[in-house]
Chains A and B, each alone.
Chain A
Amino acid sequence: MNIVNAINNAIDIKLNEDPNVLAFGEDVGKEGGVFRVTEGLQQKYGKQRVFDTPLGESGIAGSAVGMAIAGLRPIIEMQFSGFVYPAFNQIVSHAARMRNRTRSRYSTPIVIRMPYGGGINALEHHSESMEALFAHVPGLKVVIPSTPHDAKGLMIAAIESDDTIVFMEPKRIYRAIKQEVPEDKFSIEIGKGKIVQEGTDLTIVTYGALVREVQKAAVMAKKQGISVEIIDLRTIYPIDRDIIRDSVTKTGRVITVTESPRSFSVASEVSQIVIEEAFLNLEAPPKRVTGFDTIVPLPKGEHHYIISPEKIYYEILDTIKY
């Protein structure tokens, strides 16, 4: 399975199992989404449960809030993360706050799916990585898988969660990785990272499409005798402090690699966690290897922005030298 198949499979399992689960959004029904993530599901479960909405993100998210209050479990799609902003009001003002506002009387178990990230030579608004915006909002959880296996397990967990989950899908690797994934239902706990590779000299914290780029950089580092431990966060919020602490306590060095802008980012948060949890073990300042604090350039300029394995390797050397 690739990531597209895995998410489709997870949604399929939950649609089959729970009549309260619905999936909808722009072009989600008949066509199965512009990336075909929901392909075949309308044919299987009918138009009442898997459907195309009018073109309005606020309508999609806001109606999901109402449905969720009434006991349904909507899985909604923002066609690209760059088009979530009309829905931002509903997500931030209501989905994230309804439980608190009603002292837990009402909850909003919604999965807000959105393809995100760069590297696909896209038009404007199709390349950004704005996970920090959502992670910053009290009341939301933010999940980003990097493999088909994790995508399936995390999607099952997200649909079953009683909280609102922003589920960001790294579209650059939608079809790039194939993996054996169990056909049966399984879930992966939200809030738990994963050690992708063990190492002793330096920890790299990353997620999404950049996990693979970090692995390539780690191979380059290994040739220089540098042993890199790689953490895939998998959940951005709530962030897995334990896995970060345990790793950095061991290695003493940490780099966070993300494709989002640097300032006020997930990378900044990881650095602060390291300072709080492993200050006395640090042998170098925590480093952030991120996109620039700029808008992602259109395709002809995007190579300047993309985080390459060479760039990661360069920063590894810099941190080791410190």
Chain B
Amino acid sequence: MFEKYNPINDLMLQVINNDGKVINKEFFPKLDDIQIIKAYKDMLFERTADLMTVSYQRQGRIFTYPPNYGQEAIHIASGMVIKNEDWLVPAFRELGAYLAKGATLKEIFLYFMGYEDGTVFKDANHILPISVPIASQLIHGTGLAYAAKYLNKKEVVFAYVGDGGTSEGDFHEALNFAAVWKVPVVFVVQNNQYAISTSKEDQTVSVNFAIKSVAYGMKGIKVDGNDLFAMYAALNEAHDYCSKGNGPVLIEALTYRKGAHTTSDDPTKYRDKAEEEKWEQKDPLKRLKSYLIDNKLFSEDQEKNIIDDYKKEIDRIFSEAENYEPYSLNEVFKHHYADMPQDLKNQQREHENFLKWKES
């Protein structure tokens, strides 16, 4: 696959077209119907949760939130490929992948309500917290992969970044180190066309993002990120390639951020309706649903019922998160050091004295 889709030729791996028709039998992944239906339902869950979270934000019930919708195929395919022992290194726009790894929606809500507890993902194995400083997390991916190799563990690391993030020095150091060390890490660039208001064209003049792998002597591939089958096939191939000790892989997943950058952003300032409509044709859910309906695996009626159930469940989880325990002063101080300096203990005590005074 990597030979055939060498990014130098600017080809893109695609398995189904916009109408959900299989156009590339060779790379149609080995998935049975049940798995495919589940993948679609998971994408539907991610989208429903995501859109509801945006509306919770509008109601003032959470703070700033970066929506995921439009990018679900990448996340759900990742979830299908990433095994329990593998590492997931998030940026911040991979909701479905976190959930598949064992993070809970309640935690996601807590995080965007303003609790650090929400990014611990305490019941998920081998996942890092959400990373806000763009691209910085990729190097941790390289380090985790070095450790896996050194410790002789069968782990592959999956580390995520956006198109904008490829301009940071950290991106390039992460790739180069990983290639030089020949360690098992898959870098996934979610090329959703924008970094806030900055378009891909202002970010790079490379023909694609996958080609950046070539300079580092590692494998790379450009994939239709709105095609679940193509994403699954590429991620799976990359997993296989890394597991065999061949070194890192860079996957560019071509997609579109259908929503705003975050709930504080207004995309009408920098992109037009015509462009949004063009991408609407390539919507990842719409495409997979067409495939399912064509193959008589799913129906519109089913979808409506499923969404209704999801909404109820999501609302229930959200109110659970809203009733989370208050944030105590102790929580502010507790987690900075294994061995807390006396100074810090004093500062906490002083503040408690102030609070007592204030109450009296």
User: Is A304's CB under 8 angstroms from B167's CB?
Assistant: no
Chain B residues closer than 8 Å to A122, beta-carbon distance: 63-64
Chain B residues closer than 8 Å to A54, beta-carbon distance: 164, 167, 198, 202-204
Known contacts A26-B195, A55-B167, A123-B132; A304/B332 CB under 8 A: yes
Please encode chain B, from 325 to 342, with 1 for each CB lying within 8 Å of some chain A CB and 0 for all others: 011010111001000010
Q: Is A302 an interface residue (CB 8 A)?
A: yes
Known contacts A83-B133, A299-B114; A121/B198 CB under 8 A: no
User: Is A294's CB under 8 angstroms from B344's CB?
Assistant: yes
Please encode chain B, from 44 to 63, with 1 for each CB lying within 8 Å of some chain A CB and 0 for all others: 00000000000000000001
How many of chain A's residues have a CB under 8 angstroms from any CB in B? 39
From A30, A294, A300, A311, B336 is in contact (CB under 8 Å) with A294
Q: Is B237 an interface residue (CB 8 A)?
A: no
Stretch at the interface among B238-246, B293-301, B350-358: B350-358
Q: Is B307 an interface residue (CB 8 A)?
A: no
Once the chains are docked, how many angstroms separate the CA of A31 from the CA of B168? 21
Chain B residues closer than 8 Å to A194, beta-carbon distance: none
Q: Is B30 an interface residue (CB 8 A)?
A: no
User: Is B332's CB under 8 angstroms from A56's CB?
Assistant: no
User: Is A293's CB under 8 angstroms from B347's CB?
Assistant: yes
Q: Is B11 an interface residue (CB 8 A)?
A: no
User: Is A297's CB under 8 angstroms from B116's CB?
Assistant: yes
User: Is A125's CB under 8 angstroms from B132's CB?
Assistant: yes
Known contacts A31-B269, A304-B332; A55/B358 CB under 8 A: no
A298-313 interface (Cβ within 8 A of B): 298-302, 304-305, 310-311
Q: Which of A83, A86, A123, A126 has the most CB of B within 10 A?
A: A123
Q: How far is the CB of B138 from chain A (nearest CB, A)?
A: 13
Q: Is B2 an interface residue (CB 8 A)?
A: no
User: Is A292's CB under 8 angstroms from B347's CB?
Assistant: yes
User: Is B197's CB under 8 angstroms from A52's CB?
Assistant: yes
Q: A34-B196, A304-B327 are in contact. List 9 more A-B contacts (CB 8 A).
A: A26-B196, A27-B197, A34-B264, A54-B203, A58-B169, A83-B133, A121-B114, A294-B344, A310-B358
CB<8 Å pairs between A and B, sample of 28 = A26-B195, A27-B197, A34-B265, A52-B202, A54-B164, A54-B202, A55-B135, A55-B164, A55-B195, A55-B198, A55-B203, A58-B168, A86-B169, A121-B63, A122-B64, A123-B132, A124-B130, A262-B347, A292-B347, A292-B348, A292-B351, A293-B344, A294-B344, A299-B63, A300-B115, A301-B116, A305-B332, A314-B358
